[in-house]
Structure 1
Amino acid sequence: MCAMMKGKLIQYACTVVLTIPCFQAAFTFVWPSYAIPALQSDRSPLGYKISEREAGLISSCTMLSPMIVTMFAGTLADVFGRKKISVACGFIILSSWILVLTAKSASQILIARLICGLAFGCNIIVVIMYIGELCQTSTRATATVIITFLFSIGALASYSLGWVCSYETVCYFCITLSVIYIIFMFALVKESPVFLVGKGREKEALHCLAFYRGASVVTEHVLGELSYMRSQHNQNKQNHPIEENVPQYETEKLTEEKTSLPQEETSAWKLLFASTSSRRALISMVSIMVLTVYMGMVSVQVYAAQLFTKMAPNISPDLCSVILALVLVASSCVGTFTMDLFKRRSLMICSTLMSSWCMAVLGSLLRWSWASDWAVTLVVVIYCFSYQVGPNSLPFVLTSETFGPQTRGVASQVVVTSMFLSNFLLLILFGPVEDQIGLDGTFFLFSIIGFVTVIFTYFTMKETKGIPLDEIQKMYEKGFLYREK
């Protein structure tokens, strides 16, 4: 029992270290909400005011560059190793913030955020792989939740520091955090045992696996799990499907679950597009992801300070931003529990409907001013809460439950890429659209897209909670439309 508890603590500790870039990603994404006003002020750190066009590019570019790398991040991790790629991402993030701190032009900041986005796009794919391979059954779900939780904490920290600290102090904080991440990656985190087995380095794999399980290299369940990894690797080399009912090494009797080894990238892509059900499922997941992005959440986060200044001029925009971040943290925690309490379809439809209603109310508040400034803030809070509980996280959950182990990785890459592309276009178009139809009209547009998402979800989204994978695939074989039976 002591070894089991030790192993779980080690897995959680390593997961926290691995997900520090997720914290940094959220920090970086919302940084423009308070940095852009500083860069456009008379006391700009650059020595001159940046233009609206430059402000739009700086705000959105971190959503563009991840698309370049997400589609082959898994391949890089399979060639060079999870740890090396993660450390490389840490150095890239470090160098990007040094560039921001020393920037003398908007172009330098733009370049820094572009390369930072590359690191985030690569890291999120690698972290998902890493956590899936180093964690056992009893810790994997919680470890995965740590990703979204630290992302929310990152947004809170960014808004808070932006409120009370100077432009330069924020940069120094990010540089320090990057250095801490790199140090802990070298000092604590070891390579994925699955990767090492795939490279034929079984002695190293055994020591890494024993470390993550908090046990000796001669412990029976550690040796058994290593043996299973070896057999899985041999199956993949022969392009044989992985058996779903292979005996697992469960936790209560010093045995652990099998650890997934990714299929070869080429065969995974072929498998994804080979069957009608997989193609339909992929189209459905990408459609849901794109629609939920265009409900406007990322624009609210990135332009929080500017939006609150316009919507509630009598309340400190920094205070409103911090309240918003606190809501994001709380809702991410609530979302963790609601996932297990409600069916996926019901949760998605209800939360999306509430988010759409909130956007419609915001539009009416701005156009007709029928309530106080605090009412505007309250509606924004309700919107963010409902969005976090459903549309923000459910597309990823659906993707993990809809695709099998051989295609889940590449399907996730496609869905994540569609998310980054949609976020980039949304941030680029937000300013011009607001100029044309006003902020109230923009919120009405987000509301309409939300209601379209509700309709699309009602007629096409399959229920996946507690449903076996083969039954989910059979649903897609019958067509796009949802059927009860």
Structure 2
Amino acid sequence: MYEEKLKKSAFGIQLLATICISFLAVQTGLVCGWPSYTVEMFQSNETILTRPMSSIDISLLGGLPNIGGLVTSPFCGYVFNKIGRKYATILFGLPYLINWIIILLCNSVPFILIAAVIAGIGIAGQNVSLIYISEISHDSIRGGLTAFSASGYFLGILISYILGGYLSYYNVVYTCLALCILCMICLALLKESPVYLLLIGKEKEAANSIAFYNQVEVKSKTVEKEIKKLKIQMDPRLEKILDGNIDLETTEELMDSMLGDMIVTTKESPWKLFLKSKSSKRALSTVLMVIALTVAMGSVILQVYAEKLFKEAVPSMSPNTCAIILAVDFLVASFICVLIIDKFGRKNLLLVTSALSGICTVLLGAQLQKQWAPHWVTAALIYLYSFIYTVGCAVIPFVLAAEVYLPEVRSFCNGISMAFVWAVTFITLFIFNPVAEAIGLAPVFYCFSFICFLGTLYAHLRVPETKGLSADEIQALFLKR
């Protein structure tokens, strides 16, 4: 509605704030990458633990963060609404800190597994913290900055693999602990989201926050227009106007004249507000379907089987080297996503990467079944698929979950979305082995390919383009579906 050109200084401060928030995603990468190079030592007779880990212990070490995240995710939205985006983001840095302290001080298997559960709580909060980035970003760069969190995660994975390859066990833990403390210090330097400040009625503080993130004077027209825009998005009358059969220009005139003059507060819970909002329900159903399709495209499974496939494809290379190359592959792809998502849009990027991922999984299935090419082609296809998937399918669901909801229900709906990510990921991992044993690994990849093409069709028919749009304009798109 308000087309304010983004100043270079504003871009710089928003990028810097995004880097600080994405530093929390680096902690997720450090935690998720850590088991890959420690399990061999944990299982050996030379383990530093009180006893070697059993195969069940190893499975729990990899799976318990999912349990912690799944249980915690539905409550993350409440915490972000209760204490604010900034302090909730800092709060969810504590589980990572506790995780590393337990690992540093304890050497019994049960305590290591407890640390894994606690780390999952941090991961759940880190996923929801994307709304913080979304709410401080200019509409023209919101997608790229939100997607930057994925780059933070893959950077954490890469750092973790490198640390594991060159440092001792305790030096790795000390380094991760120091990075976690640095992350929380950086987060403490940021200003609160203006959206949250308006939601709790602190208009003066919201104006200061807008001025900070846009690098303008508090009494400038930019701050005045942004405050009015946010008030319009929070006004309960908004959806009635958007739902009317009125052209866009007339709708904007009505909103300018009727809404945004004051903050309309409500004591209703986000759940009740969600039930009343047709656009929010449609937005949530769209995000959940995109999550289900993208998770089921096989990336999670491929990562589980990557080491086995790499050993067969390139036996001359060490598993750690292959893992580092894969992490670099993910990181470069995520950076490309950051650069192009606001140019090409969410819908087009999801559509194209889904289709290309489908082609890659077909070729992988055929290679596993027919061995139609040399073994190194298997490794090349894994890297290619991982790259393509990360450019779009891996990131866009999280971007959509952070930007498509109304401010009053954003934390609530985002929490549901992230809990759904955990649930679908768990189901996918749980059913994979029985299905693979029943029909074989190659047909499973054909199934992944079918889901990729189904995702392409769904993106074309049901996913609206949200690049550069404000929250009220996005609601209008969902109401017209």
TM-score normalised per structure 1: 0.79
Q: 1:73 to 1:358 in 2, by over 3 A?
A: same
Kept in 2, the 8 Å contact 1:159–1:318? The answer is: yes
1:263-342 mapped onto 2 (5 Å cutoff): 268-270=270-272, 272-274=274-276, 279=281, 282-301=284-303, 304-309=306-311, 311-339=313-341
Calculate the aligned-residue CA RMSD, in Å: 3.8
For 1:190, the equivalent position in structure 2 comes to 191
1:245 corresponds, among 246, 252, 270, to 252
In the alignment, does 2:59 pair up with 1:56? yes
The whole-number CA distance in structure 2 between the counterparts of 1:88 and 1:22 is: 14
In the alignment, does 2:451 pair up with 1:449? no
The whole-number CA distance in structure 1 between the counterparts of 2:433 and 2:48 is: 23
In the alignment, does 2:122 pair up with 1:119? yes
Q: 1:124 to 1:221 in 2, by over 3 A?
A: farther
1:71 corresponds, among 60, 70, 74, to 74
Deviation at 1:63, TM superposition (A): 2.2
For 1:473, the equivalent position in structure 2 comes to 478
Letter in 1 for 2:214: R
Deviation at 1:12, TM superposition (A): 1.9
1:196-211 mapped onto 2 (5 Å cutoff): 196-211=197-212
Q: 1:363 to 1:299 in 2, by over 3 A?
A: same
2:166 corresponds, among 164, 167, 172, to 164
Q: 1:408 to 1:437 in 2, by over 3 A?
A: same
Letter in 2 for 1:21: L
User: What is the SS of the residue equivalent to 1:377?
Assistant: helix
Question: With CA pairs under 8 Å and 6+ residues apart, which has the higher RCO, 1 or 2?
Answer: 2
User: What is the SS of the residue equivalent to 2:46?
Assistant: coil
Deviation at 1:454, TM superposition (A): 1.4
User: What is the SS of the residue equivalent to 1:49?
Assistant: coil
Letter in 2 for 1:220: S
Deviation at 1:367, TM superposition (A): 5.1
Deviation at 1:177, TM superposition (A): 0.5
Letter in 2 for 1:193: P
Q: 1:430 to 1:96 in 2, by over 3 A?
A: farther
The whole-number CA distance in structure 1 between the counterparts of 2:216 and 2:342 is: 31
Kept in 2, the 8 Å contact 1:345–1:463? The answer is: yes
The whole-number CA distance in structure 2 between the counterparts of 1:6 and 1:340 is: 19
Q: 1:448 to 1:111 in 2, by over 3 A?
A: same
Kept in 1, the 8 Å contact 2:298–2:448? The answer is: no
The whole-number CA distance in structure 2 between the counterparts of 1:22 and 1:272 is: 28
Deviation at 1:342, TM superposition (A): 5.2
Deviation at 1:451, TM superposition (A): 0.8
Q: 1:379 to 1:416 in 2, by over 3 A?
A: same
The whole-number CA distance in structure 2 between the counterparts of 1:146 and 1:317 is: 27
Deviation at 1:173, TM superposition (A): 1.7
Deviation at 1:4, TM superposition (A): 4.5
User: What is the SS of the residue equivalent to 2:92?
Assistant: helix
Letter in 2 for 1:29: C
2:49 corresponds, among 36, 42, 46, to 46
Q: Deviations over 1:268-291 (max 9, x none)?
A: 534544577765554443233123
The whole-number CA distance in structure 2 between the counterparts of 1:387 and 1:350 is: 10
Q: 1:351 to 1:223 in 2, by over 3 A?
A: closer
Deviation at 1:401, TM superposition (A): 7.1
Kept in 2, the 8 Å contact 1:33–1:305? The answer is: no
The whole-number CA distance in structure 1 between the counterparts of 2:278 and 2:225 is: 34
The whole-number CA distance in structure 1 between the counterparts of 2:230 and 2:286 is: 35
Q: Deviations over 1:423-458 (max 9, x none)?
A: 233345556666x359xx335314313313413642
Letter in 2 for 1:465: E
The whole-number CA distance in structure 2 between the counterparts of 1:344 and 1:378 is: 27
Q: Deviations over 1:211-252 (max 9, x none)?
A: 3333444x423652575388559x65xx43377738999xxx
For 2:470, the equivalent position in structure 1 comes to none
Kept in 1, the 8 Å contact 2:29–2:156? The answer is: yes
Letter in 1 for 2:78: T
Deviation at 1:318, TM superposition (A): 1.3
Kept in 1, the 8 Å contact 2:147–2:395? The answer is: no
User: What is the SS of the residue equivalent to 1:245?
Assistant: helix
Kept in 1, the 8 Å contact 2:26–2:156? The answer is: yes
Gaps of 5+ in 2: 242-250, 468-472
Deviation at 1:263, TM superposition (A): 8.6
Deviation at 1:368, TM superposition (A): 5.2
For 2:424, the equivalent position in structure 1 comes to 422
Letter in 1 for 2:116: R
Deviation at 1:381, TM superposition (A): 0.5
User: What is the SS of the residue equivalent to 2:238?
Assistant: coil
User: What is the SS of the residue equivalent to 2:252?
Assistant: coil
Give aligned-pair identity as a percent: 28
Q: 1:430 to 1:350 in 2, by over 3 A?
A: same
Q: 1:290 to 1:38 in 2, by over 3 A?
A: farther
Q: 1:41 to 1:402 in 2, by over 3 A?
A: same
2:32 corresponds, among 14, 29, 33, to 29
1:94-113 mapped onto 2 (5 Å cutoff): 94-113=97-116
1:344-355 mapped onto 2 (5 Å cutoff): 347-355=349-357
The whole-number CA distance in structure 2 between the counterparts of 1:285 and 1:168 is: 41
Deviation at 1:17, TM superposition (A): 0.9
Deviation at 1:418, TM superposition (A): 1.2
TM-score normalised per structure 2: 0.80
Kept in 2, the 8 Å contact 1:295–1:447? The answer is: no
